[in-house]
Structure 1
Amino acid sequence: MRFRPCIDIHNGSVKQIVGSSLSDAGNKAEDNFVSQKGGGYYAALYKEHGLKGGHIIILNPEGSEYYGADLETAYDALKEYPGGLQIGGGINDGNAGRFLDKGASHVIVTSFVFKGGIINYDNLGKINKAVGRQRLVLDLSCRKKDGRYFIVTDRWQKFTDTELTLETMKELSEWCDEFLIHAVDVEGKASGIEDYVAGLIGAFSEIPVTYAGGIHSFEDIQKLRDISQSRSDYTIGSALDIFGGSLSFEEVCSRFND
């Protein structure tokens, strides 16, 4: 169970947002924290602490007026820590190689694979061929609807018809190296973890999985460890003191990281 740090980029800045508030219209989001430091600062911090496999997420679409600034911030991070960070946000078979060339260890993909609300196997095959299974992470971020959890796309704004289940995870694990799962309904709210998602990860053992969403205390980390049977790596965002929260980054690095 390892701590996987994050660098979320929105409107050109490193931020922590409430995930469910994100909207492409007007480039809006409810901010928890807006950093005065760039992506390179956080990448250097993670490198200093030996934290590998963290992720950069670009939260503006490619057509946004802020996308160029997002890329600059992301590239600064990749340059500072080559091979140490994954990157996601608008990745497809045409641009994935650019991010790998800039130093990303993996690319993270959702919307390109879940076109039209279902698994698009043509696109899944294209991105798999473009980067290789060993450098592909599938983001299975989910939201709850009618008592069930469905994968969401387009920066968590659109529900797909694909339910997040153990069967879905097992099927998709044949195509990629890891999963990243944001529990979007609790993302950025520091309100505790989604037990169902943690339980799914605990029942799954094919490839590594990183859980993100709601962690705001060491009790939450221990709960995730217990429910997932120590099979889940984890991300903490706005609860960390480096992002304006109260949870010590230094202490997180020294605990629950085995």
Structure 2
Amino acid sequence: MQTKASSSRPMQFRPCIDLHKGKVKQIVGSTLSDLENRAAKKKLLTNFVARESPSHYAELYSSDGLSGGHMILLSKDEETQVVARRALRDFPNTLQVGGGVDVRNALSYLDDGASHVIVTSSVFKRGELQMDLLERLSGVVGRHRLVLDLSCRRRDHGGDYFVVTDRWQKYTSLKVDEATLSTLAEYCSEFLVHGVDVEGKQLGIDSDLVRLLGDFSPIPATYAGGVCDLDDLETIKREGRGMVDATVGSALDLFGGTLRYEDVVAWHREQEAGA
């Protein structure tokens, strides 16, 4: 397999905020559902619910000089919109925002202070990527302010990765490979990729997925899913070949885990200093 040379850019820690029903939460991503019935609610696994608002976390990230973090809106209710937009206004250009973003509302998030908008489901129909929708959105917000979410999972053990949409519940026909990454990089400035099968489980990262992104992504990609400790960050640094940043969710002490946020920030600063 032919691979590209490693990038000289330092790997970054990208912080996150996941919002559900107006609360900052850490949810096992594979249990999310749009279905509003008792059976679906019973299957939703939540690792952590914060007392603090998203503005609290945005202030923390801003004060620590962390940029490029993402705030994902996991529900469509009004309360989620209110607290999310308040955080964007309070700390402009600190966070990217995703979850329900489309051509109709993307500019409003940027106007409210988002540094970038993140999109996935709105550029797919019936499991197929609609290039005309992606081109239109990229044209409206500008390639430099668009992040494409390619969160994915394997259909079969050891098989190819396919993008999943609609809160990671629906497989699409889009395979995450060299050709896909090369083509889509023409329309956005970054990729956000959750390893859905390990997301929120604190069982370790999907090294195969990180390696794929490191080998073939021509633009920066942020990997999310399963990071437990600083060793996982070192693995992402090595396998990502300088093109893959990382976010940490449930494992952080901010969100009920045991990995100290301060240690991750210190690790991030070491990467910057060593660049």
Structure 1 Cα separation of the partners of residues 87 and 216 of structure 2:
31
1:153-172 alignment to 2 at 5 Å?
153-172=165-184
Give the corresponding residue for 1:218. 230
> What is the identity, as a one-letter code, of the residue corresponding to 1:231?
M
Tell which deviates more after alignment, 25-34 or 213-222: 25-34
Structure 2 Cα separation of the partners of residues 243 and 48 of structure 1:
18
**Matched position secondary structure for 2:162:** strand
> What is the identity, as a one-letter code, of the residue corresponding to 1:33?
F
TM-fit CA distance, 1:200 = 1.2
- The answer as to 2:260 corresponding to 1:248 is yes
Structure 2 Cα separation of the partners of residues 77 and 185 of structure 1:
29
Equivalent residue for 2:56, pick from 34, 41, 46? 41
> What is the identity, as a one-letter code, of the residue corresponding to 2:176?
L
> What is the identity, as a one-letter code, of the residue corresponding to 2:169?
Q
The Cα offsets for residues 52-88 of structure 1, whole Å up to 9 and x where unpaired, read as: 000000001x3xxxx1011112112212220111000
> What is the identity, as a one-letter code, of the residue corresponding to 1:57?
I
- The answer as to 2:18 corresponding to 1:8 is yes
- The answer as to 2:249 corresponding to 1:237 is yes
TM-fit CA distance, 1:148 = 2.0
Structure 2 Cα separation of the partners of residues 211 and 58 of structure 1:
18
1:164-203 alignment to 2 at 5 Å?
164-203=176-215
**Percent identity of equivalent pairs:** 50
The Cα offsets for residues 205-227 of structure 1, whole Å up to 9 and x where unpaired, read as: 52111000000111111111111
Equivalent residue for 1:99, pick from 109, 114, 117? 109
- Matched-pair contact (CA < 8 Å) for 2:178–2:217: no
- Matched-pair contact (CA < 8 Å) for 1:43–1:81: yes
- Matched-pair contact (CA < 8 Å) for 2:181–2:217: no
Equivalent residue for 2:71, pick from 46, 56, 62? 56
Structure 2 Cα separation of the partners of residues 145 and 87 of structure 1:
28
Scaled by the length of structure 2, the TM-score of the pair is: 0.89
Scaled by the length of structure 1, the TM-score of the pair is: 0.95
**Matched position secondary structure for 2:250:** coil
Aligned residue-pair number: 253
Structure 1 Cα separation of the partners of residues 133 and 241 of structure 2:
33
- Matched-pair contact (CA < 8 Å) for 2:69–2:94: yes
The Cα offsets for residues 100-131 of structure 1, whole Å up to 9 and x where unpaired, read as: 11100110000111222122011111111110
TM-fit CA distance, 1:230 = 3.0
> What is the identity, as a one-letter code, of the residue corresponding to 2:230?
F
- Matched-pair contact (CA < 8 Å) for 2:200–2:226: yes
TM-fit CA distance, 1:167 = 1.2
Q: Which runs of 5+ in 1 are unaligned?
A: none
The Cα offsets for residues 188-214 of structure 1, whole Å up to 9 and x where unpaired, read as: 001111112111121135211100000
1:6-155 alignment to 2 at 5 Å?
6-26=16-36, 28=41, 29-60=44-75, 62=76, 67-146=77-156, 147-155=159-167
- Matched-pair contact (CA < 8 Å) for 1:183–1:213: yes
- Matched-pair contact (CA < 8 Å) for 2:16–2:248: yes
> What is the identity, as a one-letter code, of the residue corresponding to 2:247?
T
Superposed CA RMSD in Å reads: 1.2
- Matched-pair contact (CA < 8 Å) for 1:135–1:176: yes
Tell which deviates more after alignment, 135-144 or 114-123: 114-123
- Matched-pair contact (CA < 8 Å) for 1:9–1:73: no
Moved over 2 A (4+): 26-29
Give the corresponding residue for 2:8. none
